[in-house]
Amino acid sequence: MKKSLIISSMAFGCLALALSLVLAPKLQAASGGSSQTAQSIMVNMTPNSNAFQITGTTTWTFNRDCAEADYTASAGVWDGNTPTCVGNATNCAAGNQPPVPPAPPIDPHGPNSIEHHAQQDRCTFFCGGTLDGWNYTNTEMVNGLNGHGNWTFTYNYSVTTVGSVNEATCWTCDQSGGGAVDVKFCGFVAGESFLKKARDNSGWDKKYSFTLTQPDPITGLPVPDIHRLGGDMDRRARPVRSGYVEYRQLRQTE
């Protein structure tokens, strides 16, 4: 018997739990001298592990705005050195040196910016690892006190990080396509029911019914093959192969 089952790839683990299922007989008893019945079923299926066809696209996207939050930039600090000056002796005289001007803004988009380094560190965010900080300098040029001479001051900048990041930090994963998986399997299904009726004059008090699914010779679809047998079962009976047992004094009633 062959069947096809459509399941998602995430559900295959559940299929394995159902590959071999045996429901024990359950006896339905009535009071007094009424009849009694019991039913059981066995299902045994073997999947074809070569039947999987999984296709699809997995896309990882880096969120740089998220990554930039793991960096902290400090404002520039004058290095304390005497500024350089371009001009004549009068304009570059010590008495014409201007006061220290404010530091230039933190680099927003250039090679020393957090934006740039976060993009460069995208593999570290994906695989996990340590984010390194960095230092850099920038300058500010102003005129002397007399309005002449070009005085240049130097400032130090530093950027620190959170240190280590886990893998897939600031990355998102999206999967498209793939759909379902066609899992083919072969199996065997057998059912049994038992009837013990009250004593009467029919000459028998027990009936065993067996159902084995077999493929239809024309369509190939599973169809039940039902056998009903009545009589007394030999207490020494034992299974000799799937779906068959030995009987003594057994006669067909239907």
Residue 9: pLDDT band with limits 50, 70, 90 = very low
pLDDT at 177: 72
Q: What is the mean pLDDT of residues 57-82?
A: 94
Q: Please choose, from the candidates 93, 76, 44, the residue with its C-alpha nearest in 3D space to the C-alpha of residue 156.
A: 76
Q: Average per-residue pLDDT in the chain?
A: 74
Kindly report which listed range (50-54, 140-144, 227-231) carries the lowest average pLDDT score: 227-231
pLDDT at 51: 55
Q: Please choose, from the candidates 75, 153, 62, the residue with its C-alpha nearest in 3D space to the C-alpha of residue 108.
A: 75
Residue 148: pLDDT band with limits 50, 70, 90 = very high
Q: Which position has the higher pLDDT, 236 or 159?
A: 159
pTM: 0.51
Q: What is the mean pLDDT of residues 169-177?
A: 87
Maximum mean pLDDT: which of 7-11, 12-16, 57-61, 199-203 = 57-61
**Burial degree of 167 (CB within 10 A; 0-12, 13-18, 19+):** exposed
Residue 166: pLDDT band with limits 50, 70, 90 = very high
The full set of domain ranges for the chain reads 2-55+186-252, 58-174
For the chain, give the longest Cα–Cα distance. 139
Kindly report which listed range (120-124, 137-141, 205-209) carries the lowest average pLDDT score: 205-209
CA distances, 157 to each of 18, 101, 119, 120 (Å): 64, 16, 20, 19
DSSP-H helix ranges across 47-111? 64-68
HEC string of 45-56 equals EEECHHHCCCCC
pLDDT, tens only, 175-230: 877 666 666 666 666 777 777 776 666 666 777 776 666 666 666 665 555 444 44
